[in-house]
A and B are shown apart, each in its own frame.
Chain A
Amino acid sequence: MKLVKIIPRLFVFVFTFCFLIGCISDNYNNVPPLDREPVIEPDYSGVTIPTNIAPMNFNIVEDGELFIIRATSSNGSGLQLKSSDGRVRFPMRAWKKLLAVSQKGKIEIEILSEDNEGNIIKYEPFNMNVVSEPVDPYLWYRLLYPGYESWLDLKIVQRSTENFKEASIFENQLLENNCVNCHSSQQNNPEKFLLHVRGSMGGTYFVDGKEVTRRALQTEQMPASAVYPAWHPSGKYVAFSSNKTVQGFHMRPEKNIEVYDLFSSMVIYDTGKNEIAAIEESDTVKYMETFPSWSPGGDFLYYCRAIQVEEGFDYRDVKYNLIRKSFDQNSGVFGNAELVFNAQEINKSVSFPVISPDGQYLVLTLHDYGTFSIWHKEADLYLLNLKSGKVDRMDLVNSDETESYHSWSSNGKWLVFSSKRGNGLAARPYFAYFGSPENIGKPFVLPQKDPTLYERLEKTFNRPEFLTGKIRTGPRDFARTSKKEAVNASWAGEKTIIVPNELKKQTSAENEEKEIY
């Protein structure tokens, strides 16, 4: 067929098609709306989102052969999409434009569906609130099976929050399938961070710019390895808790696993001198200390503390309180321990204290007992006002399932936390806007290019944290560093860490290092 014949025919076809679609759209406008919103997954109805977030793609879980989706900003401009399978994927450019014109306003999403007999349903529209405060451009997390003891492929991944690009930072198959955990950056800094590797290539890997160093932090004075880290804001120190952790497997279906410490204490590591020391030796036989967290100024170290367990203890009786110690940055000397929040008093236990960048608020996880809230269904996030000492449950962000690990964005306006509200097993990263204690947005899960991904992805997002930029270090950098010998840290303290004798015996039988999730 000649081109001169094809072009006019094509034109007629396109015109007719557009006309018909236009008619259909007009028909839809006259349909009375249903008195309910459509069911969508993830649930993005009523959420508060930043202006720089990636397209909030979702899946419509309603019957229909064709869906029409209209996203309209407060000023009336918008975009329209069609979906035959219910999957809604916003084009990147159009989405960014929509966000730009919706700042401090709303995006209204209207959905219409049509079945194969031509019946049209118009659902009640839902909104996404757009705030002007941006979220940090990257998120990093560990991706792994939410298993018990075994692991095979472990990764630490960075994901852009502004689009769907993701890249591996660490892949354990390059390091003889060793375990990796506890990645932590210095105040969301992509240039300065650390992570632990356990196994044949073991050590704590410190990244400073492009330089990666492998260090062995556990000295003979430490009965357990350095575990949970907290970077001092200056970057000069890292506080660690040194924990001897064990796990037990429940035989009733309500709970899977119990992870608890037999002993734990706080140590401080000087990154420049490669020296490690106990924070206070005298406490180690009386208390178990874990989850360090610095105040933004670096003047206080917050952590969780429980009475040291003894042989035959009941794990359900172990309750951690929130404690802090002052810290003199010039002399490196700590003050006395102060009780900040007595959780034991209300028969609860504290985990993961994290302070907002402005130093006014502290978000913590509160659960019934113990130290490892990840496997506690009742674990919820609470907000502690550091000025008034008032602790409130963050009702809007919590669910019936576990909410546990959380961290702040660099501007203090966004919280990312892991929640198992999807299926109760795998954690997903949820973002919550924090304007003030009275103005907390409904959280939303990290958007994905394929909105059905979370339904299929069995892996869990562990320790999600924001980053102010992209990490330049990649898996091969760690693999190269792993070939070098680890540099041993030296003990700078006067006394060794003391462990109750009966617990020493209890742990000596465990010669196999196990991964705890």
Chain B
Amino acid sequence: MNSRSKHLPKMKKKRSIDILLDKILQAMKMAEKLPVRISLILILTTSIAYFYFYGEGLFFFQENKSLFIFSNEYIQKYLMKPGGLLEYSGNFLTQYYYSDLYGSLINIACLILVFLVFLKTDRRLLAGSFSILLILVPPFLLFFIQISYIHSIHNSLGYILLALYFYFSVVTTGRRSRFLCLALFPVFFYLTGSFALVYPLIYIVYSIVYKKGINRYLEPVFMIVTTGVTFIIFKEILFFQPADQLLRYPLPFIEVLRIPVLYNILFLYMILFPVFTHVSGLIKLKAKYTGFINLTTFISIFAITVIQLSKNYDHDLANLFKIGKSVFKQDWNSIIRQHETSPSINSNGQYYYNLALSEKGQLCNRLFYGRQDFGSKSLILPRDYAHLDRAIYYYYSIGLISEAHRLAYESMVKNGYRPENIKMLIKTELINGNYKIASGYINILKKTSHYKKWADKYEKFLNNPELIKADPELGEKIRSIPDTDFFIMSGDIDNIDMILKANPDNKKAFEYKIAWLLFKKDTKTVLNEVRKMKAMGYMNIPRHIEEAILLYMYFNHELPDLGDLIVSMDTELRFSRYITTYLNNSENNQILEREMKKIGEKTFWYYYQFK
């Protein structure tokens, strides 16, 4: 036996040990990956469940907040300010939000990206027993940020870039390259705007916690100086942006100029993240304890998420977005159906319902079929900034096209291009015969991805008044333009009176007036208006007007002049039943309201008596 054959069993033994060791290592790696996989599954299931099944209205709302245009002018606007490109990128992504699936995927992708960047950073810093908890917090915080309607996807991109920049700073080794990485801060500031200003804080904390020697102080000082100099150069030389704008753009600001609290929590978390990882890294627990901690983390995060979602889910807001979507589609039947089956308690939701009724010629027939909590305030919205975009539809509906156009223009100036304000400008300019201006707006929509077809359709109307007149929608609006001119007034009812004076046959304006009077419970004036109805082309009196007539007759004991129209037998019978029920239960108020609701909740009588 030679020496080689002597060593053979030993070698075989050693090889089998190696294989075993490899297997163990692989198993360990698998075990290490398992929490990460579970985390990903947790993020995916939670976000898919929410965004896809509940996010419909959210994406619709966000998509309609801006209009992405493929043009040089559009991008130039964003190049002029730090953080502009972030908003530009966000708008680019948001333009396809008309697809709920796409919207869900984009939002989920952001969460996954945040998770992965934090995972990588954590691994690079000092992974410890609480790593899973530490890296799961940011995506879940971002998830709660993303489900807010004021959120825009560019803010998610801002967080991702901030986390990425920090990750690159951490992985960059070598003093020179690290300083180079920090020296790129001005570029990062230009790209992400105010998000960048959080970075120096993260880096200072990181340096204090992780660096040793002179670098512990030198790099933070370098960072502070770079940030300060960048800020001054941006403010004083490069951009015409005031300091507060540089500090806050493109973060969302609510009216009181506060950043929503969750945004700040996430920023604070990112700033303290190096501390958390450091502390976590110091605590080395046995694998079974780590497993227990991970399991507890999963269960608690999932539980908190579910509890928070069910607690904070704003059903009425979702309902409103859904109604808003139908308004944009001009799907009036769907709005009526939705409000009557799942009533909105929001004044804007009820305004849309009344608008839908008007568009279907049902305002005085079904006004009280849907919930009405705001009286005339949900009939006509104020023309202030908060209601601008929604108020437009009422004026368009009743034929005050010039006012609808003015409000759409104001919206464009104040809010920038939005699909609905541009569409309204196109329609109103076509109706008013301003084809050159309409053509300009059509060209804007033609440079979008989603509204190009719409623009192509309306382009055919340019310089073709006959085609416009033949169009069911535009033609009707042309016919409802006031024959004589007047100035729009601040009083809503004054405007209706003026348009009725100019166009006495305008049924939509007339019914808005009657609805307004019904809300004001002014049956006498309603009655006076009924006399005009025959001449306007009414063959029957709408249901709620009949109800007002009977109520007036009941209280005043007189037979009014209805101008050749009569109250239907059906309404008289219903009123008789209503009065009988009232008389039978009038002694007990609680029972009375319950019984009256049963018999006449959808009537003017019930509104008159109990609202």
Contact = CB atoms under 8 A, between A and B. Distances in A.
Interface of A: 145, 147-152, 168, 171, 173-174, 176, 248-256, 258, 422-425, 455-458, 475-476, 479
B472 interface: no
Interface of B: 71, 73, 236, 240-242, 245, 400-403, 406, 409-410, 412-414, 431-434, 436-437, 440, 443, 481-482, 484-488, 498-499, 502
Given A148-B409, A249-B403, A425-B437, A173 B241 contact: yes
Contacts of A251: 400, 402-403, 482, 485-488, 498-499, 502
Interface centre among A145, A252, A254, A258 (most CB of B within 10 A): A252
Contacts, number: 87
A423 B436 contact: yes
A256 B502 CA distance: 18
Nearest to B486: A251
Contacts of B402: 249-253, 256
A149 B410 contact: yes
A248 B242 contact: no
A484 B447 CA distance: 45
B487 A174 contact: no
B235 to A, nearest CB: 9
A335 B2 CA distance: 134
Given A256-B406, A457-B73, 11 more contacts: A145-B413, A147-B409, A147-B410, A150-B414, A249-B402, A249-B403, A250-B485, A423-B434, A423-B436, A455-B440, A475-B240
Given A168-B240, A251-B499, A253-B432, A423 B437 contact: yes
Given A152-B413, A252-B485, A253-B481, A174 B242 contact: yes
Contacts of B488: 248-249, 251
A477 to B, nearest CB: 12
24 contacts: A145-B409, A145-B412, A147-B409, A147-B410, A152-B414, A173-B241, A248-B488, A249-B402, A250-B402, A251-B400, A251-B402, A251-B487, A251-B488, A252-B402, A255-B485, A256-B402, A256-B406, A423-B434, A424-B437, A425-B434, A456-B73, A456-B443, A457-B73, A479-B242
Contacts of A256: 402, 406
B413 A150 contact: yes
Contact of A253 (B240, B431, B499): B431
Given A251-B400, A479-B242, A424 B434 contact: yes
Contacts of A253: 401-402, 431-434, 481
B406 A171 contact: no
Contacts of B481: 252-253
Contacts of A258: 487
Contacts of B240: 168, 171, 173-174, 475-476
B203 to A, nearest CB: 30
Contacts of A248: 487-488
Nearest to B402: A251
Residue among B240, B401, B402, B485 with max Cβ neighbours from chain A (10 Å): B240
Nearest to A171: B240
A422 B436 contact: yes
Contacts of B406: 148, 249, 256
Contact of A476 (B71, B236, B413, B499): B236
B485 A148 contact: no
Contacts of A168: 240
Contacts of A475: 240
A255 B488 CA distance: 13
A251 B481 CA distance: 8
Contacts of B498: 251
B487 A151 contact: no
Contacts of A152: 413-414
Contacts of B487: 248-251, 258
Nearest to B395: A251
Contact of A456 (B434, B440, B502): B440
A455 B440 CA distance: 7
A150 B406 CA distance: 10
Contact of A458 (B400, B410, B440): B440
A119 to B, nearest CB: 27
B237 to A, nearest CB: 9
B242 A173 contact: yes
A248 B485 CA distance: 11
Nearest to B499: A251
Nearest to A474: B240
A313 to B, nearest CB: 13
A252 B401 CA distance: 8
Looking at A151, A251, A258, A456, which has the most chain B CB atoms within 10 Å of its CB? A251
A155 to B, nearest CB: 9
A456 B433 CA distance: 19
A254 B484 CA distance: 11
Nearest 9 A/B pairs, CB to CB: A248-B487, A253-B432, A252-B485, A423-B436, A171-B240, A150-B413, A249-B488, A147-B413, A145-B413
A456 B73 CA distance: 9
Contacts of A148: 406, 409-410
Contacts of B482: 251-252
A66 B579 CA distance: 83
Contacts of A254: 485
A176 B413 CA distance: 16
A162 B488 CA distance: 45
A93 to B, nearest CB: 25
Contacts of B437: 423-425
B199 to A, nearest CB: 25
Nearest to B388: A150
A192 B402 CA distance: 42
Contacts of A456: 71, 73, 440, 443
Contacts of A176: 242
A255 B240 CA distance: 36
Nearest to A176: B242
Contacts of B433: 253
Contacts of A249: 402-403, 406, 487-488
A243 B512 CA distance: 38
B531 to A, nearest CB: 26
Contacts of B236: 476
Contacts of B414: 150, 152
B403 A173 contact: no
A423 B400 CA distance: 23
B569 to A, nearest CB: 41
A254 B245 CA distance: 41
A251 B443 CA distance: 26
A515 B545 CA distance: 43
A76 to B, nearest CB: 38
**Which of A152, A458, A475 has the most chain B CB within a 10 Å cutoff?**
A458
A148 B409 CA distance: 8
A271 B433 CA distance: 49
Contacts of B73: 456-457
A259 to B, nearest CB: 12
Contacts of B403: 249, 251
A150 B242 contact: no
Contacts of A174: 240-242
A147 B425 CA distance: 13
B436 A424 contact: yes
Nearest to A315: B487
A423 B436 CA distance: 5
A256 B410 CA distance: 13
